[in-house]
Amino acid sequence: MCQTQYRFKKDPCSCANNNEVDVEHISIKWEVCFQLRMLIGSATLRCKMLTQTDKIQLDVRDLAIRSVSINGKDCDYRIAPSVYTFFGSKMKIYIPNELQKEGLTLNVTINYSTSPDATALQWMKKDQTVDKKAPYLFSQCQAIHARSIVPCMDTPSVKTTYEAEVTVPAGLTCLMSAISEGSKGDEEKTTFFYKQPVAIPSYLIAIVAGLLEKRDISPRCAVWAEPSVVDKAHWEFSETEDILATAEEIAGEYIWGRYDMVCLPNSFPFGGMENPCLIAHSWSGNLVTNSSWESFWLNEGFTTFIERKICGRLVSESYRQFMSFNGWTNSLIPAVYEQFAPTHQFTKLIQDHTNVDPDVAFSCVPYEKGSALLFYLEQLLGGPEIFEEYLRNYIKTFAHKAIDSNTWKKHLYEYFHDKKEILDGVNWQGWFYAVGMPPNKPVYDETMVKDCENLLQKWLEAGENEVDKMTVDEYKNMQPLQQIEFLSQLRQHETPIEHYKLDAINKLYQLNESENCEILLQ
């Protein structure tokens, strides 16, 4: 069932008329054509009429529409390109007079194919994969790219269930962001069936197709990868069940059934995946969702905050504090002062995306500014234990819904009704709408930062005859993020470090042999 109980300012990145029509369910049928770099098939949208209207408005981008029908009968439609190409086009489907009634359910079937240049899809030739035996396809629909693979109300304020029937060349596997319902095939093709019973926003529709093998981690967790790397991926993600169980202690029951991961080829264009972060999204983002990308911090700020709580449980509270301090210092400050400027509109927590591509506005600001706000509020309102009780109530209250920042703030006041004076003292205007750095910096425990500084100081003070006496233990006992911080401080030191010290550090800590790309980057 579609979840659109809350009505907000219209999402400026979508032309959907979701105030008039709900898309409750989508049935997808695709054939993956690697040669043409296209998905060919259809989508049937089950639409609930919320009011009397003569149209259904969907977002599309570069789709070749062959036909449209409502309840099995062909109907008229019109596609009007946006002035801004990144928004794609408005697809207006005209509802026959006799069906323009509040409460009716309409089945709208659209036969179409995607463009070879669909912005949500990455087509890879076999030589771009690790094993170089078969082509590969993966999708990335966030923020507004789902419209390039399926006609939809491409706004996070609309949540819908979906099912899919996807055909791929024999020997390949298709995975989706849904529960597997099995497969069938012959010598030439295999069709995979998926069903997602939990309503999700369009940006969470996902597909992967390629030569893949599976390794189970636990009864509900598994990892998929190309055959030559699947065992290595299994080892890398062996702690997933422990992380997921810890997340449940903080945020509540995991309702998605399975937590399966795909280890993509090395040519995947995004940075490394922080597993606790992606797990945290199962609650903040996927279950409780920002109603538009203008309040992206409700997805990412909460997720970053919960991710660090998970790491705090698994490692130590000092480590959570270190991660938060590191985010403020090494992510938020550079974003505000280097990526943008302290006066730039994209440094606001709540942004105006009128005629703005949300991909252009993307940065770590919603992650770190949002997380810092929650950390600050946790300290104001009684500490971690009290705030975690609030987190669980927040997630339970808004599960399966999409909300905006004002709805979040209203709930915060209602939950902490006995602390209204404290909340009234928060500079909400500064946190929400001011450019630049936040109006307040949380108080962070810097113990683990000082460990990095102390190790650096030892190297700076060591003479040429003393570097050979340095031991690996202090560095080895650090968390990987601390090691990265130490190397970052070393690299950014105001005076050049002698070459013999750099050689000694590299040799002692075996930096060139590290498999951590962040360490190698330093």
Tens place of pLDDT per residue across the chain (522 aa): 344 444 567 999 999 999 999 999 999 999 999 999 999 999 999 999 999 999 999 999 999 999 999 999 999 999 999 989 999 999 999 999 999 999 999 999 999 999 999 999 999 999 999 999 999 999 999 999 999 999 999 999 999 999 999 999 999 999 999 999 999 999 999 999 999 999 999 999 999 999 999 999 999 999 999 999 999 999 999 999 999 999 999 999 999 999 999 999 887 766 544 456 689 999 999 999 999 999 999 999 999 999 999 999 999 999 999 999 999 999 999 999 999 999 999 999 999 999 999 999 999 999 999 999 999 999 999 999 999 999 999 999 999 999 999 999 999 999 999 999 999 999 999 999 999 999 999 999 999 999 999 999 999 999 988 998 999 999 999 999 999 999 999 999 998 899 999 999 999 999 998 888 788 777
Question: How many angstroms separate the CA atoms of 154 and 89, rounded?
Answer: 11
476 and 331 share a domain?
Answer: no
Residue that has been written with the tokens 């985010």 in this structure: 327
Question: How many angstroms separate the CA atoms of 129 and 131, rounded?
Answer: 6
Domain closes at, from 211, 229, 262:
211
28 and 107 share a domain?
Answer: yes
Domain membership of residue 411 (yes or no) is yes
423 and 483 share a domain?
Answer: no
Domain closes at, from 407, 433, 459:
433
Domain membership of residue 231 (yes or no) is no
Domain closes at, from 211, 232, 250:
211
388 and 468 share a domain?
Answer: no
In the chain, how many domains are there? 3
Cα torsion 203, 205, 209, 213 to 10°: value is: 110
Distances (CA, A) of 112 to 35, 116, 148, 205, 491: 17, 13, 11, 17, 53
Residue 281 annotated as binding site: yes
Closest by CA position to 156, among listed 301, 287, 60, 302: 287
Preceding omega of 143 cis (within 30 degrees of 0): yes
What lies within 8 Å, CB to CB, of 87 at 6+ separation is 13, 15, 59, 61, 144, 357
Closest by CA position to 142, among listed 62, 88, 204: 204
Residue 462's domain spans which residues?
A: 447-521
Domain membership of residue 178 (yes or no) is yes
290 and 160 share a domain?
Answer: no
166 and 202 share a domain?
Answer: yes
pTM assigned to the model: 0.95
Which token pair is 123? 């087509």
CB-based contact 147:358 (threshold 8 Å): no
Residues in the chain: 522
482 and 335 share a domain?
Answer: no
Domain membership of residue 270 (yes or no) is no
What lies within 8 Å, CB to CB, of 374 at 6+ separation is 301, 302, 305, 387
287 and 429 share a domain?
Answer: yes
Long-range contacts, 452-458 (Cβ 8 Å, 24+): 452/478, 452/482, 452/485, 452/486, 452/489, 453/489, 455/486, 456/486, 456/489, 456/490, 456/493
Domain membership of residue 268 (yes or no) is no
386 and 456 share a domain?
Answer: no
Domain membership of residue 253 (yes or no) is no
Residue 300 annotated as binding site: yes
